[in-house]
C-alpha cells in the first residue's frame, strides 16, 4: 500500500500523511502522537506549520512589564508572532495583561506566553529567571544613551524589556538590565507608541540575527514539541483523538 508523505526539513522527521501507524524511524511517544495527529490535518496546513517552525527563535525573547492597554498588548503579540519570536514574558505587577481579539488576530495562539503575577516582585522574578537561562537583559528606553539597535551585540541570547507608555520600565527593571538600547528620534515627540517600538526593534534585530551566522533556530526537539502543540491547537477535540490513539497504541 502506498502512503503519501509530507517531506519536512532535514532536521525534522518524515510524517506519514495517510497512515499514522507507519513510523519510519525510532521515536519518542510525543513523536508518535505528532505523527498520528498530523494525519488529520490537510497537507497544506501541515506544510505551513513546518515552514513557520523553521523560522521560530528563542535567541530573542520579549518581556512586557505592566502593559495595560489591550490594543497595545495585542499589537505587540502580533508583531512577535510575525517576526518569529516564540517566547513572550508578561509581568503583571499592577496591571492585568489583556488581549483585544480584533487586534491580536489569533497571533497569541502560536506563541508561548509566560505570566508573572504571584510574587511580591514579579519583575525581579521574571528577569532573574531569564538571566539564569543565559539571557542578557536589554532595556529599551529613550532616556539611556547606551547603543542603537544596529550596534546591539546579539551573540548572546537576548531578552528585550519594554515598559508602559507613560512611565516606561520600572526602576527594578532598569537596575537589573545588562544593557540599554534606544531607537533614534528625529522629531519633537519623545518616543514611539510601545507597539510601534516593539515592531521596529524586532524588525531590525530579527533581520540582523539571521545575518550574523549564529545558531538562532530552535533545536530539533523544540521544533518537534512546538509542532505538536500547534497541531493540537488546530483541532477541535485533540484529547478525544488522543484517547483513540492510546486505545490502538
> How far apart are alpha carbons 119 and 115 in whole angstroms?
11
Compute the average pLDDT of residues 138-165.
89
pLDDT at 186: 86
pLDDT at 189: 82
pTM given for the model: 0.83
User: Which of 20-34, 125-139, 154-168 bottoms out in mean pLDDT, i.e. has the lowest?
Assistant: 20-34
Average pLDDT, rounded, for the chain: 84
pLDDT at 3: 37
Q: Is the pLDDT of residue 21 over 80?
A: no
> How far apart are alpha carbons 57 and 86 in whole angstroms?
6
Fold held by 60-211:
Alpha/beta knot (3.40.1280)
pLDDT at 25: 36
Four-point Cα dihedral 131, 111, 208, 103, nearest 10: -120
> What angle, rounded to 10 degrees, do the helices at 43-53 and 220-233 form?
140
Query: Any idea where the domains of the chain sit in the sequence?
Result: 5-54+219-248, 60-211
Query: In terms of pLDDT, which residue wins out, 217 or 7?
Result: 217
SS3 assignment, position 71? helix
Q: Is the pLDDT of residue 91 over 80?
A: yes
pLDDT at 1: 37
- List pLDDT tens digits, range 161-217: 999 877 889 999 999 999 999 888 888 887 888 999 999 999 999 999 999 989 999
Nearest to 15 by CA among 51, 50, 57: 50
Amino acid at each position: 500500500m502506498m502512503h503519501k508523505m509530507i517531506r519536512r526539513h532535514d532536521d525534522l522527521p518524515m510524517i506519514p500523511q495517510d497512515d499514522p501507524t507507519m513510523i519510519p524511524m525510532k521515536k519518542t511517544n510525543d513523536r508518535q502522537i505528532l505523527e498520528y495527529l498530523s494525519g488529520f490535518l490537510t497537507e497544506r496546513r501541515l506544510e505551513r506549520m513546518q515552514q513557520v517552525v523553521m523560522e521560530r527563535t528563542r535567541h530573542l525573547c520579549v518581556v512586557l512589564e505592566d502593559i495595560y492597554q489591550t490594543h497595545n498588548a495585542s499589537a505587540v503579540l502580533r508583531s512577535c508572532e510575525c517576526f518569529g519570536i516564540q517566547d513572550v514574558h508578561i509581568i503583571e505587577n499592577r496591571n492585568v495583561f489583556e488581549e483585544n481579539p480584533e487586534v491580536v488576530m489569533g497571533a497569541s495562539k502560536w506563541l508561548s506566553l509566560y505570566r508573572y503575577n504571584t510574587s511580591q516582585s514579579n519583575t525581579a522574578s521574571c528577569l532573574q529567571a531569564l538571566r539564569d537561562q543565559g539571557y542578557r537583559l536589554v532595556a529599551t528606553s529613550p532616556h539611556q544613551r547606551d547603543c542603537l539597535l544596529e550596534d546591539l551585540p546579539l551573540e548572546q541570547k537576548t531578552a528585550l524589556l519594554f515598559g508602559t507608555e507613560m512611565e516606561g520600565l520600572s526602576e527594578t527593571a532598569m537596575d537589573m538590565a545588562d544593557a540599554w538600547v534606544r531607537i533614534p528620534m528625529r522629531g519633537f515627540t519623545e518616543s514611539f507608541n510601545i507597539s510601534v517600538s516593539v515592531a521596529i526593534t524586532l524588525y531590525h534585530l530579527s533581520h540582523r540575527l539571521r545575518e550574523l551566522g549564529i545558531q538562532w533556530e530552535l533545536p530539533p526537539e523544540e521544533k518537534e514539541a512546538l509542532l505538536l502543540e500547534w497541531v493540537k491547537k488546530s483541532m477541535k477535540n485533540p484529547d478525544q483523538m488522543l484517547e483513540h490513539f492510546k486505545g490502538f497504541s
